[in-house]
Amino acid sequence: MNEDPDLYSKSCQMQKFDTNHFLDTYFKRLNVKNNVTVLDLGAGDGSVTLEALLPRLPNFNKLVVSDKSKKMINFAKNRFHDERIEVIQMDILDYDKAFKDHFDHIFTFHCLNLVPEARTPDAMRNIFEMLKPGGNFFATIIVDASLYEFCDSMIKDKIWPPAMANYKNFFSPYRGCDNPAEKLTCFLKNAGFDVQFCKYEERKFTYEHLNQFADYALSIFPVLKVESRDERAKFAENVKETIRKHQLATSDESTRSDDKVHYFYSVLVAGASKPV
């Protein structure tokens, strides 16, 4: 992310939409009981935790909300007013060893796709170590997205090259893989997990306005270090041009609505447990 919690908070509609969909589909299989200790890993500004995960938790004992960004965590702290909820700064690649064998359930939504492939085994191993024996792990991970293609096009056309340096480091390690579910399953099993399910799903989310999508793009790309208002406005216009070039924006002439953006992406959803 670009570590702008205000922008991310108003732009994360897709993340909420996706998390609600997958939790509706799989939550009962996770066997979440009363008095459990839960970690939401990579929670950003806390919006998804608050609006999607928290309402589904029963009478939990402890919920730890974590993110590696200090700005996001400071923002998220103002969202939670329950003494059972702790908001902390933590990077999954360097977790607090006090959490070893600590959690009954660990959730992460659209976070592990930001971990480079070379470090993914470390991330999975750390998650495994933080779970109690018998605890389980639930993850949604972006595989590919039309935004990646926008970046390719913007670089090729030299529309936005300075801010896009090393942008491919942001792409999911599962992008371009013939069988991403099998790849993730291998990572999980190598870390010691018993894998209950690991599935690939193609998804679509519609942004009602081009500006909403431009804000979303700016909020999630860590390579886009766009600080000034003028640069942000320029980037937003460049995104709009690229969207129209790819013909992913539509308008409703009957209602004179602004252009809508149909955002296509694919997701891995997995559930795994730590053997007793």
The per-residue pLDDT for 255 is 46
DSSP 81-148: --TTEEEEE-BTTB--GGGTT-EEEEEEES-GGGS-GGGHHHHHHHHHHHEEEEEEEEEEEEEEEHHH
The per-residue pLDDT for 151 is 73
**Mean pLDDT for the stretch of residues 186-199:** 98
Lowest mean pLDDT among 188-202, 220-234, 248-262: 248-262
Residue 220 has pLDDT above 90, yes or no: no
Nearest to 261 by CA among 223, 225, 213: 213
List, in order of start, the domains of the chain with CATH numbers.
Answer: 5-273 (3.40.50.150)
Confidence of residue 214 (pLDDT cuts 50, 70, 90): confident
44: left (phi over 0), alpha (psi -120 to 50) or beta: left
Residue 142 has pLDDT above 90, yes or no: yes
Residue 6 has pLDDT above 70, yes or no: yes
Residue 259 has pLDDT above 80, yes or no: no
pTM, two decimals, is: 0.90
**Mean pLDDT for the stretch of residues 54-63:** 96
Beta strands in 15-56 (DSSP E): 37-41
**Mean pLDDT for the stretch of residues 231-260:** 66
Confidence of residue 256 (pLDDT cuts 50, 70, 90): very low
The per-residue pLDDT for 20 is 97
Query: Mean pLDDT for the chain?
Result: 87
